[in-house]
Amino acid sequence: MKALVWNRPGKPESLETTELPVPAAGPGEIGVKVIAAGLNPVDYKLALNGHPAWVYPFVPGVDVAGEVVEIGDGVTKWQIGDRVVYHGDFTKPGGYAEFSVTTAHTAARIPEGVSFVEAAAFPCAGLTAYQVLFRKMHMQAGQSILIHAGGGGVGGYAIQLARLAGASLILTTASQKSMEHVKALGADVGIDYNKEDTYSRIRELTDGAGVDLILNSVNRATAQEDLSALKFGGQLACIAGAPETVADFQPSSKTFTLHKIMLSGAHGSGNREAEEDLAAMADEFMALMLEKKIKSMVSEIISLEQVPEALTRLSQRHVTGKIVLLLQ
């Protein structure tokens, strides 16, 4: 099969196209003919240093949509030809190839009315946002929220989900070129992080009280600053690093809850319930897509040969929305 691989740790430009054997489904697994695969920051971030579990040549790509072509021993949920989507285990070969393998219980069925491209766009980013808002923070109508990087995948899906949840105020940080995009998704206020002081703006917009919820997908430094923008009893969810001094942050004047989020952590955790929830959340998410309550945010559809350049742009934060690889 044709595949895009890393032969050693490196940057996106070191990815190479090659021929590999078609992977075989083991017990509890399904083999999938890859139709589309989503691009995500995790696909290039891990490759800079590699991962101890990787065997080279290694195929990246954690978000896959396609058709079941092989059923492993003990699998009863799926049949040949079923349309599936899944967020894969980043320690194992992924979807930048013509065929891939995943655990049967973490895959979700793609309903008629949702395309392979739309399905491939959402798992990593969409399910992260979904897990944060509804599994961890249990967001309620009337709450206010700051969503960092609203022009990206996690941020864009989180804006839409917060609007569906009945948020009273949705603030997001974004570049000027993404402002129309984030407001079209449902943000009330876009804060240009290149020109404005984010936290002064938040204090101004909330009369100094801060927001109920913050979703940070940027870095540890901004997560540290986020603590000052939370209401008393607020919640902060961190995807790209938690604050370093949580324990010492004004304990007498402010209480808050911290959530450290790693969607892929469910794989190999030994927690079957957490693994199966990846599929359950995908079912719930696609139901919203089918009802046109969530936009897939697909901004580009590319070929296998275009993936290295697209991942480079993604790493430079020059991408709005989602890029999807179409293989078939």
Predicted model pTM: 0.94
> Given this model, what pLDDT does residue 246 score?
62
- CB-CB contact of 100 with 34 (8 Å): yes
- In the chain the domains, ranked by start, together with CATH numbers, are 2-122+264-326 (3.90.180.10), 125-261 (3.40.50.720)
Q: Which phi-psi region, left, alpha or beta, contains residue 50 (left: φ > 0; alpha: ψ -120 to 50)?
A: left
- CB-CB contact of 274 with 164 (8 Å): no
Burial class, 249, CB count within 10 angstroms (exposed 0-12 / middle 13-18 / buried 19+): middle
Regions of the chain with pLDDT less than 50:
251-252
Per-residue model confidence as pLDDT tens digits over 128-155: 999 999 999 999 999 999 999 999 999 9
> Given this model, what pLDDT does residue 76 score?
96
